[in-house]
Amino acid sequence: MPASFNRISLESELLSRLRSPDVAGQMKGKLREVGLRPTRTRVALGSILFGKGDRHVSAEMLFEEACQANVSVSLATVYNTLHQLTEVGLLRQVAIDSSKSYFDTNNTEHEHYYVEDRHELIDIPPANVVLGKAPEPPEGYEIVRIDVVVRLRCVRSKTRRALSRLLPA
């Protein structure tokens, strides 16, 4: 199948999902529930974000998806919207380093693998993580959240091939 057909198919799917009264209505309700005004941009970006289930996206990834769905939006607006959705608890921000963050639509407490070779976050199954006692915070502070990101890198091509079979393309 030609790449252009896949792109057109993806665009059509995104556009039909965005225009679906059910998806848009659910997103408007979710935004109102958390005290955000359901602007056209927030509804469109939220529909793209939450319409595919639990996933990890960067602002650049969401911006690209929005462009493919013919949503007219700037990268700055995407960043602002992601931060607003994080502030009200609809998203969880996972900082990889000082210049790279992902936004997780699964806002429950869980840990992540970060595959450095692929710049990809993967949820770690809860049964695979055992955390010890959290440290006592300094006086006058409280622990808000503990994030665990386990960094992975393929060490050999054989390992790389094995990992690529486990991870989505």
- For domain 1-107, give the fold: Arc Repressor Mutant, subunit A (1.10.10)
Residue 112: per-residue pLDDT = 93
The pLDDT of 73-77, averaged and rounded, is 97
Residue 5 has pLDDT above 60, yes or no: no
Exposed/middle/buried for 141, CB within 10 Å: 0-12, 13-18, 19+?
exposed
- Residue 143: partners with Cβ closer than 8 Å, 6 or more residues away: 134, 137
Residue 43: per-residue pLDDT = 95
pLDDT band per the 50, 70, 90 thresholds, residue 165? low
Two structure tokens written together for 19: 């225009």
Q: Does the model's pTM come out above 0.85?
A: no
Length reported for the chain: 169
pLDDT band per the 50, 70, 90 thresholds, residue 147? confident
The full set of domain ranges for the chain reads: 1-107, 109-169
pLDDT band per the 50, 70, 90 thresholds, residue 15? very low
Residue 42 has pLDDT above 80, yes or no: yes
| Out of 14-23, 80-89, 95-104, least confident range | 14-23
What is the C-alpha separation between 114 and 106, in angstroms, rounded?
A: 16
pLDDT band per the 50, 70, 90 thresholds, residue 7? very low
